[in-house]
Structure 1
């Protein structure tokens, strides 16, 4: 993780994350206040973009396996720059849908290829490298979001357009850095390997479990803010410091959590513990609505800390499993499949959690905790099944 290639990749990820922080904080306001789209239009367009991008991961990942991860990553970064920059040309809902779909496809393709590149650069420490990059990403997004505040304050089309173009430029700058990483030849398919690319049910099952666990990412960004303002006596401004607490903990603890995860058995253990913590966090949120403002603030703060520890463990287990259970010569394709599976659940999470946790109240939080706990407890037999399948692919 201290190699020159790893440092270059970390620098590239930081730049991309800063651009993404700008985009996440200001893009919706640009589309509504400057372009004139309605909030519903933006929501529909972004949903379409997410769906369009889901299938890109496995396809682009397979190209990375065939032609080299670095080379294909340069292509996807350039595509991201062009697609993102095209947002400044949006003047109608139809054009927005087309451009947003292009952004979604390029973004999902980049994620899959980046996973394959991490696998090659990181070697045996690939999961730890990915954990480090997650901490770097959180720092970058926070910096970008803070910078977007200046744009939002001015609230002009020129400022919003500049924000979008700076984000687009961040991908080009990232590409320049990635170009300095030495290219690596694609790994050949072992002669005796059974084709794993068509249907690997055990790996898909592991992907589904981590997809279910990925519902937790919408807890702090969607469900908790809505819960605070509709079901508790806590002040609405509490949302911001709670999110900041989550970010700081992830930055400080993600790398440390990944240091002890060096095998599938380690991944199983930390994922189980993470599921228990996530379920406990849901129960704490559930009881936060039954007390005074002081009680609510105290319990919600504790809930976010517990939830974040679960989130960190979930990520550490996910990184190890997604790499260790994939054939070395097909890391790009498998990372794309894994990303497509978890991405589908993440896309569905806001609507699902709004129904379960907000409309159903405390019962919904208990149900969500049970779902997350069940998924975590199911990872053991499922991962071992996938491990046996992976061994069979090589030994057959």
Structure 2
């Protein structure tokens, strides 16, 4: 478990550093236009969504440890190959490789986390992984800010290669992770059972949309709102993001304690959705206020938001672990992340339309969206529970 957590931390550090400078690297070093970058990233995102469930099945069939190591090695090579990219077609192809390898890593790591610890410890393990991911991303972001101050292309290249190196270090660490044996599906059932599990597909779509949207509230919605006349200083963007990162690191493991079983998991998800809705209401109340009152309300909203986010994410993981058959953790994890991928396509235009088109009232619309979405967790998980025989055989 410690090896997997350390690999997660190292990988998150590299990703955080690269994300800070990725756009500048692609525009200045690779010479790509914003339109080329958008085309390449969108192509890769689509490939990743399509590959999630099949690659999760592969991780179950051949063992998640070796597939996770393979994904890390491929990612190291793909990011290094970005140095040779100077046009849209090679960038789109490499984006597909990166997205597919990332999909494999997510499914394999989810199955590895599920299989390396007792069932009662899975949720706590997942919470630790997310806590360290946030910590690593935060420190990596600080490390990646160096080239931004120096404004030199060499710094962007160094950060890219450092990110590639962290994938190799993570792969090396994972060689010492526990060996989770390949899983054998019951005879006579479909291979991609998750794609026939309609209740789980509904859950993955619902949770993916809600999760992607709460991620975009502070990273996209708040900056757009502040930049278009919210009468509050722009440095509140950094304040809100620091509060979010610190809250996830400090609260995630603590708030995962005591969440056991499907009823507790969907109650946690519902509670989180309602609290995120409350944070949107506080942001709506900040509209039109004096700068310092608006700043205070935005900081309060950021605190409320991270509490809701932690509850919601904890409930989501608990539902996935409870609904997935023991022999199909990889493909169910992959399907869950595919739902997140679909959410990532819908959430940005949704949030943008609300905060730019409706201004302060847009936050109230988003509050209603989270409240309504949270209320759907209970019927969806109850529907899923009714289709789950006690021994989780293949669904037909």
- Output one character per residue of 1:59-93: Cα deviation in whole Å (capped at 9) or x when no partner: 11111111100011111111111111111111122
Which one of 280, 288, 291 corresponds to residue 289 of structure 2? 291
Give, in whole Å, the separation in 1 of the partners of 2:284 and 2:218.
Answer: 14
Partner of 2:203: 206
Partner of 1:267: 265
Once the two structures are superposed, the pairs formed by residues 363-378 of structure 1 within 5 Å of their partners are 363-378=361-376
Partner of 2:8: 13
Partner of 2:60: 65
Once the two structures are superposed, the pairs formed by residues 320-331 of structure 1 within 5 Å of their partners are 320-331=318-329
Give, in whole Å, the separation in 2 of the partners of 1:380 and 1:350.
Answer: 26
Once the two structures are superposed, the pairs formed by residues 46-61 of structure 1 within 5 Å of their partners are 46-61=41-56
Give, in whole Å, the separation in 1 of the partners of 2:202 and 2:273.
Answer: 17
Partner of 2:146: 150
Summarize the Cα distance change of 1:15–1:395 in structure 2 as closer, same or farther, 3 Å threshold.
closer
Deviation at 1:395, TM superposition (A): 9.5
- Output one character per residue of 1:146-184: Cα deviation in whole Å (capped at 9) or x when no partner: 111112222222221111111011111100010112322
Stretch deviating more after TM superposition (359-368 or 251-260): 359-368
Which one of 173, 177, 183 corresponds to residue 177 of structure 1? 173
Which one of 349, 359, 362 corresponds to residue 361 of structure 1? 359
Give, in whole Å, the separation in 1 of the partners of 2:150 and 2:292.
Answer: 36
Partner of 1:242: 240
Summarize the Cα distance change of 1:217–1:269 in structure 2 as closer, same or farther, 3 Å threshold.
same
Does structure 1 residue 166 correspond to structure 2 residue 162? yes
CA RMSD of aligned residues (A): 1.7
Deviation at 1:194, TM superposition (A): 7.9
Does structure 1 residue 29 correspond to structure 2 residue 24? yes
Which one of 217, 220, 238 corresponds to residue 219 of structure 1? 217
Deviation at 1:331, TM superposition (A): 0.7
Partner of 1:79: 74
Deviation at 1:343, TM superposition (A): 1.6
Mapped contact 1:31–1:42 kept (Cα < 8 A)? yes
Stretch deviating more after TM superposition (325-334 or 228-237): 228-237
Partner of 1:3: none
Summarize the Cα distance change of 1:303–1:67 in structure 2 as closer, same or farther, 3 Å threshold.
same
Deviation at 1:217, TM superposition (A): 0.7
Deviation at 1:122, TM superposition (A): 2.6
Mapped contact 2:209–2:339 kept (Cα < 8 A)? no
Partner of 1:129: 125
Secondary structure, counterpart of 2:182 in structure 1: coil
Partner of 1:229: 227
Mapped contact 1:231–1:289 kept (Cα < 8 A)? no
Partner of 1:107: 102
Where does the alignment leave 5 or more consecutive residues of structure 1 unmatched? 1-5
- Output one character per residue of 1:314-359: Cα deviation in whole Å (capped at 9) or x when no partner: 1100111111101110111111011101221023322221112222
Where does the alignment leave 5 or more consecutive residues of structure 2 unmatched? none
Secondary structure, counterpart of 2:379 in structure 1: helix
Mapped contact 2:266–2:316 kept (Cα < 8 A)? no
- Output one character per residue of 1:37-66: Cα deviation in whole Å (capped at 9) or x when no partner: 222322332222211211121111111111
Mapped contact 1:53–1:108 kept (Cα < 8 A)? yes
Give, in whole Å, the separation in 1 of the partners of 2:4 and 2:99.
Answer: 22
Secondary structure, counterpart of 1:231 in structure 2: coil
TM-score, normalised with respect to structure 2: 0.95
Deviation at 1:265, TM superposition (A): 0.8
Stretch deviating more after TM superposition (113-122 or 362-371): 362-371
Mapped contact 2:194–2:201 kept (Cα < 8 A)? no
Partner of 1:380: 378
Summarize the Cα distance change of 1:194–1:80 in structure 2 as closer, same or farther, 3 Å threshold.
closer
Does structure 1 residue 394 correspond to structure 2 residue 390? no
Secondary structure, counterpart of 1:391 in structure 2: coil
Give, in whole Å, the separation in 2 of the partners of 1:105 and 1:156.
Answer: 31
Summarize the Cα distance change of 1:229–1:316 in structure 2 as closer, same or farther, 3 Å threshold.
same
- Output one character per residue of 1:15-41: Cα deviation in whole Å (capped at 9) or x when no partner: 000000111101111111222222232
